[in-house]
Chain A
Amino acid sequence: MADRSGAVRTVLAITVVLSACSLLYELLIAQTLSMLAGNTIVWYSLTVGGYLGAMGLGAVAVGTRAARSSWNTLFIVELLLSVVGACAVLVIQLAHSLYLFFSATPSGGNVLLFFGVSFAMILLVGVLSGIELPLLIQLGNDASEDGKITNRVLGWDYLGALVAGLLFPLALVPFFDLAVIGFGTALVNLSAGTYVLYRFVPHKRRFRLKTAFALAFGGALVFGISQGGRIQQYFLKRYYFHQEAAALGSPVGPLSELPDIERFYSPYQKIDLVHDTSVYEGAILTDAYSTKYAEDPSLPKDWFLFLNGDFQVTSNYEEIYHEWFAHVPIILSGKVPERVLVMGAGDGLLLRELVKHEAIRSIRHVDLDRTLVGLAKDHPMFTAMNRRAFDDPRIQTEFGDAFQVIRRSREKYDAIYLDFPYVMDYNLSKLYSREFFHFVRARLAEGGYAVLDAPAPNLRPDPDPEGNLRLQRGGETDIYYNTIRSAGFESIVPFHTRLEIDNPSAFEALETWPSTPTMEGAASREDLRRALRREWMRQFIDVHASNLEQGFILMWNDDRDPTAHTYVDLGIDLHVLNERRFGLAFPPPFSRSEDIDPFKVNSILRPTLPNRRILSVRKPW
């Protein structure tokens, strides 16, 4: 080798680039899996562990064949690594969309297959990276004077890992689609490999073939980057419309006849607006319960908001949820709060309900995400729904992490509304922790209340002879109760949105429903047919009402009678909530243990939420 120190420098430079690329591939896989299978921490830990483990394996495996290491081998490994790395995100997303497709068909999806494919990608990248490092050490040693370069190569390798660790969360994830980041990384990786090919590999047999392949793959990557938007739409549609895809019998089609999904990026989450017009059967009952479309037919229909792939709210029924959330606590408290703190609720829908109360003097609104609040202020779909609630001068919106804000805050509030996404990972678990509720309680003025949305209590009959109801063990409700009580709240009242079944307008709406159940044989007996039809309608409405059921937990600092529910007319415009439905909002009294079970308390030091299997796959619905 003519230029020895040059070769050493090249080895070190290539080491940084390659180790950064390898870790980026792994972080991409980790992030893809956290989006598709929830639970960021688990996936980051496992991916990094799998990476290190496979690198260890790769290093041990290569050990015996050190003699064969050459620039040519390095080039081949780089080529393979850039192909595998570029495809990893796509393969995992494809496996996920196929899983969703089959889970919506009678054959069912196979979770293990999905996780098997994902792990295979983690290990493949890890093993290839593990082969790479001893090669670089060997090449560095061959090129250097004293033959002792191991530690320097290792040092630069680790530096590359740090570069990737910083670039990924700060400069890449908030701005680009994961598949595109994968292509870009592969392009850098491929360039390094091609440089090795030109500079160090003897221009001998198959040199042209190798060059052609590298160039062709580079071209494919550039094309892939330019098509980033389409690739993203493809997977978004396969995700949100997987039921339609199953109905169409299309396992891999692009579903181009369905409307595009609007995706917005923020540093904290991916915001998706889905316009799904495939009619949900229950939609026929909307007007039977809510007056909003009768009053204003121009209101948005069939819009769905998703954050990080989890369903948040739909234009069709959101007023049910928000009217209960905002007003039931006020009715139960007996007076309208003056100073209100709202955390989360970036869509502005809860704020729309709150500003209806003229007695509220100030609303401090804290949200994490400027992008979401910006959409809620400007996007026509949102402004039609929230009626530009943010224009109300009583609302002061600020941006920050709710946990830090409530911990640092020293003001007192008469009411605190907690409207966060459901707990899907440990990041959100903090906002449902004992520590968080403790700080919330400390911020409540005397007689003030806090309220959050939470799963409706799942009750079961007690084995005792009186048949009392008690909380079902194992459900998340039990965790919420123990956590809130360990934070020191005296009174806890659960309530839920429940619509009545014997609603004449609902039955009327169903009269026109085309899919009348035909009772062959019985059809001649008119009265029997009508009875059957009525029973079918009752069941239909019941299913619909259950689908719309949403739980909340209301808590006070002081001792209250949890069974006193008196309706008061608040004198504001409501579309769904009325005295009758208020009466249905409370589950029957149930007994629960007085002692706090420490193993059910959700804490930032030991999370018990989300309480579900770690290996579960995310679905839009």
Chain B
Amino acid sequence: MIYAFSFLLGFCSMVYELLLGQSLSAFLGNTVLRYSVTIGLYMLSMGIGALLAEGRWLKHAAATLLKIEILLTVAGGFSVIFLLILNSVGIPDWLFSVFAHLLIVLIGVLTGFEIPLLIELRGPEVEGSERAVLGVDYLGAFCGTVAFAFVFYPLFGLIPSAFFVALINAFVGVCLYTQRFKVHESGRRSYTTLLWVQAGLFVVLAVLLQNANRVTELFLRYYLGS
């Protein structure tokens, strides 16, 4: 089950990053630069995330992972709309670019954070779990790129894709509940609250996805009017 999570999370994060890279390229131009930088930054911030995830965080692995999923769902699912609005309100390009790259780094760091947590939940003593979790995460990322290039961008469009992927992300978060991970006595109540938040996000995203075309039209009008 942990491997399935790792695969799906690798998938989601890669698609978020590509959606951000493509948004940058759509609003500011120069595809090759945007993609190269997005991918480089993504990998670097994943590394930073992996370095940050230790000690205290690992002790509350289940709760931390859930928090991260909530953050990723929000940051990834609303990223394109956020950038579209930012670009519409007429902030200077460099500031827009800063925000977009911060989002790329944020998602990268959170994703890098996930992997040690997943390894912890799998049980680091299990032979080869480190490599397997990492490998499956990368395979998920590969599938994410294929899905982005052939399905998400040309068929769904940027905004519905972001909703759809965040929906998968929220689903994984909710599924954590089924795993009955050990949660410290002190953190149990907040863990339940987090689960409800994640479930709420799932519903919100499902509704948004249902009305994705209308939502897109709404924000696009705003952009065109600016």
The interface of chain A, by Cβ under 8 A from chain B, is 23, 27, 31, 34, 40-42, 44-46, 48-50, 52-53, 55-57, 59-60, 63-64, 134, 150-152, 154-159, 161-166, 168-170, 173, 401, 403-404, 425-427, 430, 435, 438-439, 598, 603-608, 614
Contacts and interface: CB of A to CB of B under 8 A. Distances in A.
A159 B108 CA distance: 13
A56 B44 contact: no
A134 B50 CA distance: 16
A44 B35 contact: yes
A46 B131 contact: no
Interface string B44-65: 1111101100000000000000
Contacts of B153: 41, 426, 606-607
B150 A169 contact: no
B102 interface: no
A408 to B, nearest CB: 9
B137 A56 contact: yes
B29 A401 contact: yes
A31 B33 CA distance: 11
Interface string B5-48: 00000000010001000100111111111011111110111111
Contacts of A439: 224
B138 interface: yes
A607 B220 CA distance: 14
Contacts of B84: 605
Interface stretch (B141-149, B164-172, B174-182, B183-191): B141-149
Contacts of A403: 29
Interface in B103-130: 128, 130
The secondary-structure label for the interface of chain B is helix
B44 A158 contact: yes
A158 B47 contact: yes
Contacts of A155: 47-48, 50-51
A607 B161 CA distance: 13
Given A48-B145, A56-B135, A40 B40 contact: no
Which 10 A-B pairs have CB atoms at the shortest separation, nearest pair first? A165-B40, A49-B145, A606-B157, A53-B142, A56-B138, A158-B47, A162-B40, A56-B135, A60-B135, A161-B43
Contacts of A41: 22, 25, 31, 35, 149, 153
A435 B29 contact: no
B208 interface: no
Nearest to B142: A53
B132 interface: yes
Given A41-B22, A605-B157, A162 B41 contact: yes
A49 B32 contact: no
B159 interface: yes
B139 interface: yes
Contacts of A169: 30, 32-33, 36-37
A529 B153 CA distance: 59
B29 A161 contact: no
B158 interface: yes
A433 to B, nearest CB: 9
A134 B134 CA distance: 11
A614 B150 contact: yes
A161 B220 contact: no
Contact of A56 (B45, B80, B134): B134
For A27, A158, A166, A603, the residue with the greatest tally of chain B CB atoms inside 10 Å of its CB is: A158
